Amino acid sequence: MATSSHLEAEWTKLSGDDRLQRSSHGIAASGNTVAVFGGELVARQPRDNHLLLLSLDGKDTNVRTLQIANAPPPRVGAPLAELDGKLYLFSGRGGTAMAPIEENGAVWVYDFADSSWSLLGPSDSQRPVPPARSYHCTTSGEGLIFIHAGCPEQGRLSDLWSFEPATATWTQLPDAPGPPRGGPSIAYLDGSLYRMNGFDGKQEVGGALDHFDIKSGTWSTIHFAADGKTGPHPRSVGSLLALEVRGRPSLITMFGESDPSSLGHAGAGKMLDDVWVFDIATQKWSLVHQTDVTPQPRGWFTSTVDAQSSVLVVGGLGERNERVGDAWMLSVR
């Protein structure tokens, strides 16, 4: 059920730099720096393997391009996670065949301290590792990187894995409930993972916020009416972020694709422009009222939370099948 409390969104456009024009890319924030990697300008053609950095220190929001030796090969559908001043990147889709990139469980690591990329392989070659995939989701917490679901060479996945950088060890966790899917969203908050949305091959998934308790290793599900009134419509390639809203632990979901194109990945479906907040304590959704100045509807974008608990949205795919080249900051009050 949606709450009656009135939440308002304030959007600020930070950049319209052409270098941000891409979809299916990765994003993560470390302090007041936001990093963007990968994605495509033309469907099924990775744009580059440059790392774009946006500084949010209040002085400027200029985009810097880092062309780093030994950077990961270009790829799409590969999300980024940040942990302790480093970025983590697993798999994605690329190469001449635009297939899932198989790196045998290795994870790319970008270190902000020395602006370098390195490939961190599993420490134990006998332990299972997650299969290569694209359009999965990732988050971090408790010294771990989590990856979930996505699209392997064929079909879709519902698996959940953790990777501990300190020991370079993968651990397979219980599969998530519901159908396997690509383009889901996941967030970490206070010892738990929250997962929702995605595309199961036939339709967007909605009406369920799945909760994984990391300590007990168990899933549970919070059901809601996905009618756009009491809860958000089903969608994929959207976002889910954890932060405090009015001092209360909350989740934010926004935008995404609600009706896929008949052209599949080569086309654009119905894109959404709504913003919803989920209150962890009351387990209720609130639709956020937005001002006149808002980003255009989009899916296949990326978002993250900075050190000031502001939400950053970068790029994506618009309804006219055009890649969007902008960066926005969202504050909810």
User: Is 183 a member of any domain?
Assistant: yes
For 1-52, the pLDDT digits (tens) are: 455 468 999 999 999 999 999 999 999 999 999 999 999 999 999 999 999 9
What mean pLDDT do residues 204-210 have?
98
For the beta sheet containing 33-37, the strands, ordered from the edge strand earlier in sequence to the opposite edge, are 26-30, 33-37, 51-55, 63-66
Residue 138 is assigned to a structural domain of this protein = yes
Give the DSSP letter string of 267-279.
S--EEP--EEEEE
pLDDT score of 307:
86
Give me 87's structure tokens.
């970025």
> Per the domain annotation, does 316 fall within a domain?
yes
The residues that bridge with 323 in the sheet, in sequence order, are: 317
**Mean pLDDT within 94-118:** 97
CA–CA separation, 51 vs 66, rounded Å? 5
What single DSSP character describes residue 25? -
Torsion sign, CA atoms 54, 44, 99, 173: positive
Average pLDDT of span 323-332 = 97
Domain that includes residue 252, residue range: 8-332
Tokens representing 148 are: 């979930």
Helix residue ranges, H only, the chain: none
317: pLDDT confidence band, cut at 50, 70 and 90?
Answer: very high
Query: Does 234 reside within a domain?
Result: yes
Q: How confident is the model at residue 259 (pLDDT cuts 50, 70, 90)?
A: confident
Would you state the pLDDT for residue 210? 99
- Integer-rounded Cα radius of gyration of the chain: 18
**What is the structure's pLDDT at 4?**
46
Note the pLDDT of residue 261.
64
111/98 Cα distance (integer angstroms): 27
Flag the least confident range among 15-19, 95-99, 259-263: 259-263
Give the end-to-end CA distance of the chain in Å, rounded to a whole number.
20
pLDDT mean over 175-198 = 99
Using the structure block, give the residue that is written with the tokens 């392997």: 152
Rounded mean pLDDT of 198-227?
A: 98
Taking the CA of residue 320 as centre, how many other CA atoms within 13 Å lie in the half-sphere pointing to its CB? 3
Mean residue pLDDT across the chain: 95
Q: What is the pLDDT of residues 126-181, one digit of tens each?
A: 999 999 999 999 999 999 999 999 999 999 999 999 999 999 999 999 999 999 99
**Phi and psi for 86 in degrees, rounded to 5?**
-130, 150
Q: How far apart are CA 110 and CA 13, in angstroms?
A: 27
Q: For residue 139, what is the domain's CATH number?
A: 2.120.10.80
Q: Does the residue 269 lie in any domain?
A: yes
Answer whether residue 290 shows pLDDT above 90: yes
Give the number of domains in the chain.
1
Work out the angle at residue 117's Cα, subtended by the Cα atoms of residues 37 and 43, and round it to the nearest 5 degrees: 25
- In angstroms, the CA 179 to CA 205 distance is 8
CA nearest to 24, candidates 50, 10, 45 = 45
Task: Return the bridge partners of 57, or none.
Answer: none
Distance CA 123, CA 168 (A): 5
Residue pair 40/322 in contact by the 8 Å Cβ criterion: no
Amino acid in the structure at residue 287: L
Q: Percentage of residues in the chain with pLDDT exceeding 90?
A: 91
The answer to whether position 2 is within a domain reads no
Residue 111 located in a structural domain: yes
- pTM of the predicted model, to two decimals? 0.96
Asked if the structure places residue 3 within a domain, the reply is: no
Task: Report how far residue 257's alpha carbon sits from residue 283's, in angstroms, rounded to the nearest whole number.
Answer: 24
pLDDT for residue 267 is more than 80: no
Task: Establish how many alpha carbons lie within 13 A of residue 138's alpha carbon, considering only the half-sphere containing its beta carbon.
Answer: 29
